[in-house]
Structure 1
Amino acid sequence: MVVDVNWDTWESRMQAARREVARALGFEPGLTLEAPFGEVEVRLPGGRRRLRGNLRTGLWRLVEDEAALSDEAPLVEILRRLDVGVHG
């Protein structure tokens, strides 16, 4: 059995991102994680928009389908840019 020694780090970073989104948008989102790369995707309800981030770099972007709607930026900055209409 192979144990990924970075799993605890990824898991804690992922949970921190989940809490950050929950605080900003008022709901706890579902997240998917590609552990070897530290890439995370948050599905926003009510549409095709998602937040994609990298736990290694701390940079995120807003995407719809596969088109980027923002430049890469820290999660807090991306969440600040979102308006109420994004998730409702």
Structure 2
Amino acid sequence: MTVGGFVHCPLHPGGCEAWLTVVDARGKRQALVRTVDGIYQVTGLTPGGHTLVISSSSHAPSAEFLLVTGAADRTRHDVELRPAP
């Protein structure tokens, strides 16, 4: 399964540079990718619940639940970051 999307914030509506880590339900890292112009793509994920951890030097860290289903080969998941305090 493939998950991809767009990472942005109010200060960077054209996309943010960030690292995304996908962790499965057992806590094992499944993928680590970097955005390019705010766009990311992760391939090879198994169906089920995952945690998407987003980190960036100029934004507050974020974690989101990501559900990958077998109903579609590709899932879109966009992320909006908040500027670091």
TM-score (norm 2): 0.32
- Which one has a bigger Cα radius of gyration? 1
Q: Which has the higher helix share?
A: 1
Q: Which has the higher strand share?
A: 2
Structure number with greater CO (CA < 8 Å, separation at least 6) is 2
